[in-house]
């Protein structure tokens, strides 16, 4: 946080020393919860421990609220509004039991977003959250290596049994979590460091590891998301520096060239390449030898039909499977499922909260004079773009890990944006829409 000029009664401007960033002692509970959500939340028994931590955090949030520290951001308000609107789907639900099971789950997820965004209000808190994410990713990788899953995947690259699922118990979930860990690694790449070379070596090793793990998961949306994120990260955070600084230009070209070569070479030699080719084959009418593509397209089409039949309230949370005509309980698409189960208002609220975060991240990237704040704003956009692209064939409704990252960006950007708008305008002038251009 840089120094800020303040207006004194004598109309003179003086430098106010930047306030020291503090985090609540309750951040320890957040660390344990995040670590559990990334690693063991899908394991029977251990998932109960994660839920207990979640309830402890909820209790802590109640205490914070009584002290006047609970922050309800626009994103959180929209999430709870979506949960409330979803209740209208009960009237058209085929199974009330399935509806209430799904509804209470999304209510808990809304509480998770509220709690995490409350406790993460500055860069230190965000760093702790994303740092814990990286530790969780290391645990996932270590488990897969020690149990022989990585070796099995490399030895059986052409077979479905060779996909790495790890502690996530699902290969697609594992692949997506590797993308989320990559987002956390990118965050620390942009942070100031006393040992930049050592940090670069560690983070590059981590990025190579998440890339290899994503490929071995065989998750098509994980692999696509991995590539989309790197392109988006460069575009939103470094494109303006690319041609201005020779060192940055050379580093980006070298990193992108070597990284793309290693990723593509490993991908081509893996069974995951065939899964990606299956998408292209289906698109050009050459069949669906890779399996699953035609089924998922049919599910998405069915979701569209259900949405057109029930455009206002949908058929109720958890009820797509009773109308989809298949074994899957969801459309295997976030867009399709939300549209079919909660209607158009549900779509606007659910995805609207992500649009709000996108808007705030873009404002920070444009108006803050702190380069780190600008890049965090750009990183939040890169993360959201990755989510938007992969949501066509990915489900994040029940993914605690995804919402933890999103809530971390919500909490941090909300605080910094508030500081930016409240800063005195005469310091560096104001933009055309009234936003003060000042250091935060």
DSSP result, 373-395: HHHHHHHHHHHHHHHHHHTTS--
- The answer to whether residue 14 sits within a structural domain is no
Domain count, the chain: 1
Per-residue pLDDT, averaged over 362-381, amounts to: 93
The whole domain housing 167 covers 25-427
What's 313's DSSP letter? T
- The answer to whether residue 432 sits within a structural domain is no
The b/e string for 209-223 (b: 16+ C-beta within 10 A; e otherwise) is bbbbbbbbbbbbbbb
CB 350 within 8 A of CB 396: no
Higher pLDDT, 290 or 186: 186
- The answer to whether residue 268 sits within a structural domain is yes
pLDDT for 60 equals 79
CB 106 within 8 A of CB 388: no
Long-range Cβ pairs for the range 97-102 (8 Å, 24+): 98/316, 98/317, 98/318, 98/319, 98/321, 98/322, 98/329, 99/316, 99/317, 99/318, 99/319, 101/318, 102/317, 102/318, 102/319
- The answer to whether residue 46 sits within a structural domain is yes
Closest CA to 81 of 345, 404, 291, 392: 345
| Share above pLDDT 70 across residues of the chain, in percent, rounded to a whole number | 80
Q: List pLDDT tens digits, range 24-71.
A: 667 888 888 899 989 988 888 888 888 888 888 888 777 776 666 667
pLDDT for 7 equals 43
Which residues, listed in sequence order, are joined to residue 4 by a DSSP beta bridge?
A: 16
Is residue 4 predicted with pLDDT exceeding 60? no
- The answer to whether residue 272 sits within a structural domain is yes
- The answer to whether residue 338 sits within a structural domain is yes
Q: List pLDDT tens digits, range 101-147.
A: 999 999 989 989 988 998 888 899 999 999 999 999 999 999 998 98
Closest CA to 354 of 335, 326, 375: 335
pLDDT for 266 equals 72
- The answer to whether residue 435 sits within a structural domain is no
Is residue 149 predicted with pLDDT exceeding 50? yes
Please state, in angstroms and rounded to a whole number, the distance separating the CA atoms of residues 64 and 58.
10
Q: List pLDDT tens digits, range 389-411.
A: 999 988 888 889 999 999 999 99
**What is the distance, to the nearest Å, from the Cα of residue 365 to the centroid of all Cα atoms in its chain?**
18
Predicted confidence band of residue 15 (pLDDT cuts 50, 70, 90): very low
Which residues, listed in sequence order, are joined to residue 14 by a DSSP beta bridge?
A: 6
Is residue 13 predicted with pLDDT exceeding 70? no
Predicted confidence band of residue 335 (pLDDT cuts 50, 70, 90): very high
Round the average pLDDT of the chain to a whole number and report it.
82
Residues 6+ apart with CB under 8 A from 306: 314, 315, 320, 323, 324, 339, 340
Is residue 249 predicted with pLDDT exceeding 90? no
pTM for the predicted model, two decimal places: 0.86
Per-residue pLDDT, averaged over 360-379, amounts to: 93
- The answer to whether residue 9 sits within a structural domain is no
């Amino acid at each position: 946080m840089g120094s800020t000029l303040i207006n004194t009664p004598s109309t003179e401007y003086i430098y106010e020393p930047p306030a020291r960033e503090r985090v609540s002692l309750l951040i320890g509970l957040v660390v344990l919860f995040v670590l559990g959500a990334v690693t063991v939340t899908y394991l029977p028994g251990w998932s109960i421990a994660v839920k207990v931590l979640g309830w402890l955090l909820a209790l802590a949030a109640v205490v914070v609220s009584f002290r006047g520290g609970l922050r309800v951001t626009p994103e959180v308000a929209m999430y709870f509004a979506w949960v409330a609107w979803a209740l209208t789907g009960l009237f058209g639900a085929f199974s009330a039991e399935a509806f209430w099971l799904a509804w209470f789950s999304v209510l808990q997820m809304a509480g998770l977003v509220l709690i995490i965004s409350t406790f993460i209000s500055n860069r230190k808190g965000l760093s702790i959250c994303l740092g814990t994410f990286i530790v969780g990713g290391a645990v996932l990788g270590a488990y897969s290596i020690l149990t022989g899953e990585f070796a099995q995947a490399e030895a059986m690259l052409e077979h479905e049994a060779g996909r790495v699922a790890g502690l996530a118990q699902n290969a697609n979930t594992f692949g997506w979590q590797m993308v989320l860990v990559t987002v956390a690694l990118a965050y620390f790449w942009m942070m100031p460091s006393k040992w930049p070379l050592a940090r670069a070596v560690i983070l590059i090793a981590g990025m190579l590891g998440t890339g290899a793990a994503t490929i071995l998961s065989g998750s098509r949306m994980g692999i696509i998301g991995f590539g989309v994120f790197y392109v988006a990260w460069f575009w939103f955070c470094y494109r303006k520096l690319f041609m201005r600084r020779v060192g940055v230009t050379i580093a980006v070209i070298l990193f992108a060239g070597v990284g793309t070569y290693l990723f593509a070479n490993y991908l081509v030699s893996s069974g995951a390449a065939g899964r990606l080719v299956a998408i292209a084959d289906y698109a050009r009418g050459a069949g669906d030898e890779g399996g699953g593509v035609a089924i998922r397209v049919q599910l998405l089409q069915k979701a569209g039909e259900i949405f057109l039949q029930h455009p206002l309230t949908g058929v109720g949370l958890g009820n797509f499977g009773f109308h989809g005509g298949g074994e899957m309980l969801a459309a295997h698409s976030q867009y399709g499922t939300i549209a079919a189960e909660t209607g158009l208002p549900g779509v606007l609220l659910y995805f609207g909260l992500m649009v709000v975060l996108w808007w705030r991240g873009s404002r920070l990237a444009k108006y803050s004079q702190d380069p780190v704040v600008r890049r965090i704003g750009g990183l939040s956009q890169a993360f959201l773009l990755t989510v938007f692209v992969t949501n066509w064939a990915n489900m994040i409704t029940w993914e605690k890990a995804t919402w933890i990252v999103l809530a971390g960006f919500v909490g941090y950007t909300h605080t910094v944006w508030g500081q930016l708008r409240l800063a005195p305008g005469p310091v560096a002038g104001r933009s055309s829409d009234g936003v003060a251009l000042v250091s935060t």
